[in-house]
Amino acid sequence: MTDGGNDPENTDAYESFHVLSHELRLEILLALNKAPDYSLAFSELQSEVDEPNSGKFNYHLSKLEGLYIEQVDNQYTLKHPGHRVIDASRSGAFQCPPDVGPIDVAGSCPDCGGPPQFTYKDYLGTVSCGNCGNKLISYHIDPGAFTDRSVDEGIRAFDRWVKSTWRMGSDGVCFACAGKVQVSFVRAAEGPEYSQLYRDFFASNHPVLLELDCTNCSFYSYIPTGARLLDATATLGSVDKDLIDIQRKKIWEYQYIIDGGYVELVDTDPWEVLIEVPTEECRAEVTLDQEVSIVSATLDWE
Half-sphere exposure (CA, 13 Å, Cβ side) for 49?
A: 27
Order across the sheet with 181-186: list the strands. 181-186, 209-214, 220-224
Q: CB 219 → Zn ion: shortest distance, Å?
A: 4
Which residue type is seen at 46?
Q
Q: CB 285 → Zn ion: shortest distance, Å?
A: 26
**From 212, 214, 227, 243, residue interacting with Zn ion (rule: CB under 5 A):** 214
Q: Which part of the chain contacts Zn ion (CB under 5 A), choosing from 65-73, 92-100, 168-176, 186-194?
A: 168-176
168 binds Zn ion (CB under 5 A): no
Within 171-210, the residues that bind Zn ion by CB under 5 A are 174, 176-177, 179
Task: Give the DSSP H or E segment for 158.
Answer: helix 151-170
- Residue with smaller CB distance to Zn ion, 154 or 260: 260
Q: CB 182 → Zn ion: shortest distance, Å?
A: 11
Q: CB 111 → Zn ion: shortest distance, Å?
A: 4
- Residue with smaller CB distance to Zn ion, 91 or 287: 91
Which residues 6+ apart lie within 8 Å of 144 measured at CB?
90, 91, 92, 93
- Residue with smaller CB distance to Zn ion, 115 or 237: 115
Which residue type is seen at 289?
D
Q: CB 225 → Zn ion: shortest distance, Å?
A: 21
Buried b (16+ CB within 10 A) or exposed e, 94-111: eeebeebbeeebebbbbe
Q: Which part of the chain contacts Zn ion (CB under 5 A), choosing from 61-69, 158-166, 184-192, 213-221?
A: 213-221
Q: CB 48 → Zn ion: shortest distance, Å?
A: 33
Q: CB 298 → Zn ion: shortest distance, Å?
A: 31
Which residue type is seen at 80?
H
Within 58-117, the residues that bind Zn ion by CB under 5 A are 109, 111-112, 114
> Torsion angle of alpha carbons 199, 95, 25, 218, nearest 10°?
10
Q: State the Cα–Cα distance between residues 153 and 159, nearest whole angstrom.
A: 10
Q: CB 177 → Zn ion: shortest distance, Å?
A: 3
- Residue with smaller CB distance to Zn ion, 43 or 164: 164
**From 89, 91, 131, 287, residue interacting with Zn ion (rule: CB under 5 A):** 131
Longest dimension (CA), the chain: 80
Half-sphere exposure (CA, 13 Å, Cβ side) for 29?
A: 25
212 binds Zn ion (CB under 5 A): no
Q: Which part of the chain contacts Zn ion (CB under 5 A), choosing from 146-154, 193-201, 215-223, 228-236?
A: 215-223
Write out the DSSP string of 38-89. GEEEHHHHHHHHT---HHHHHHHHHHHBTTTEEEETTEEEE-HHHHHHHHHH
Task: Give the DSSP H or E segment for 168.
Answer: helix 151-170
Site residues, Zn ion (CB under 5 A): 109, 111-112, 114, 129, 131-132, 134, 174, 176-177, 179, 214, 216-217, 219
